[in-house]
Amino acid sequence: QKAAKTVKPKKIRVSTENPLKDCAKIPGQTLYILEGDSAGGTLKQIRDARTEAIYHLSGKIQNVVDKSIDKIIDSKKMKFLFEAVGIDLSKKNQTSFRYENFKILADADKDGLHISVLVSLILWKHAPQLVKNGNVSIILPPLYGATKGKQFIPIYNQSEVANYQNSGYHITRFKGLGEMNPSQLETIIRNPIEYTISPPQSDQDAEIVDRCLTEVALKRKLCEHPERFNFENLMSLTVK
């Protein structure tokens, strides 16, 4: 198989072209899959370089649901991500990876949500054991931050903003992860609101998710009937 020959699992060190900021110990404890170069630079300042690694994504990534693996790894970005995770495309070893946990962190907007879903799909399809074992999660980024002196409080709900404003906090609206300073980003990753990805619990659930991701006609229904096909109902099939 072309893909298996092209992307060989590298358990100790990845190729020199790979943008992965690796950790000293392999297997490491955590790989942060992060949106944006600037956020990756900030996270590098606060991570534990011994056990925590960073792979930052920039630009669009593919929806792997209905694409062949040979087509997917034609993209260097995808090839390097597979290499960083330690995915064995020969299927000989699907239980050993370069890190114990994989945490996805993207901006608090629709593009960031899209990236989180696409990365989740990559790991679900090509490293299913990670998902089955509960080793993949999405860290929810805050919309706002409240600061008073050295105190920083992330705010995830817009309705809470006024309460902190009235209490003398300075409110910052984060347009992206790159706008956070190191101490703020550290607060987010060390005390996260975090969703662990889980596979669909039945064949029926799996079919619903697959159709939502691949059928144009069903995507139109999602827009036409939001009360039935709302985001919370669909995400409950894959996120706990």
Question: Which active-site residues does the annotation give?
Answer: 35, 107, 109, 111
CA distances from 19 to 57, 80, 91, 179, 236 (A): 9, 8, 25, 21, 33
The single-letter code of the amino acid at 97 is F
Order of all β-strands in the sheet with 144-148: 151-155, 144-148, 170-173
Angle at alpha carbon of residue 43, lines to 40 and 44, rounded to 5°: 85
Distance CA 86, CA 83 (A): 5
Q: CA-based Rg of the chain, rounded to a whole angstrom? A: 19
Q: Is 96 helix (H, G, I), strand (E, B) or coil?
A: coil
DSSP 198-225: ---SSHHHHHHHHHHHH-HHHHHHHHH-
Do 182 and 152 meet the contact criterion of CB atoms below 8 Å apart? no
